[in-house]
Amino acid sequence: MKRPAVFLDRDGTLIEEVNYLHRVEDLRLFPATATALSSLKDAGYLVIIVTNQSGIGREVYGERDMHNVHEAMQKQLDGAIDAFYFCPHLPCDGCRCRKPDVGMIESAMADFEIDLERSWMIGDKRIDVETGFAAKIKTALVLTGYGASHKVLLDSQPNMIVEEIGAATAAIISISSGQNHPQA
């Protein structure tokens, strides 16, 4: 049976933005992250991280470093994340997996039975919103991370613009249950 998914950017959306995060000791979850992801799981959503990690391609850090960060996140979040997908390529490489292209979402679609019509993309950057548009799913921009500065760069408006991940997930759950929700 197909389930809706929430595709989430990592840095600036779920965790504090750290330039080329690769050390577990620099990992800082936003205060609302754990509750937000737990609420999504309780509402029946798949929780899937899609993250550009060009620091690997730039040789700033290795793939193992990134996996260590993901393992630490998963531990801090009590296993709430169903899958992590990452693109290690540079922006100039032209790969299909790098956001705003949809390669990571396509990989998730191959691994899970996803109901795209009820799915969302949440992130703090223009490319996250563009990824959602390209995948033809609903979009939410959070104003944490780069969100406040990227809000003005958008060519098209996302379905919602909210302060942080907790507000985004509460609104998504409210929408999916047919309740009214405040537009941020």
Residue 15's SS3 state is strand
Q: What is the rounded CA–CA span in Å between residue 166 and residue 146?
A: 17
Q: Is 9 one of the catalytic residues?
A: yes
| Cα 49 to Cα 13, 54, 84, 179, distances in angstroms | 10, 15, 5, 26
Q: Residue 9's closest CA among 171, 162, 120?
A: 120
Q: What is the rounded CA–CA span in Å between residue 106 and residue 95?
A: 13
Radius of gyration of the chain (CA): 15
Q: Is 26 one of the catalytic residues?
A: no
Of 11, 65, 124, 128, catalytic: 11
Catalytic residues: 9, 11
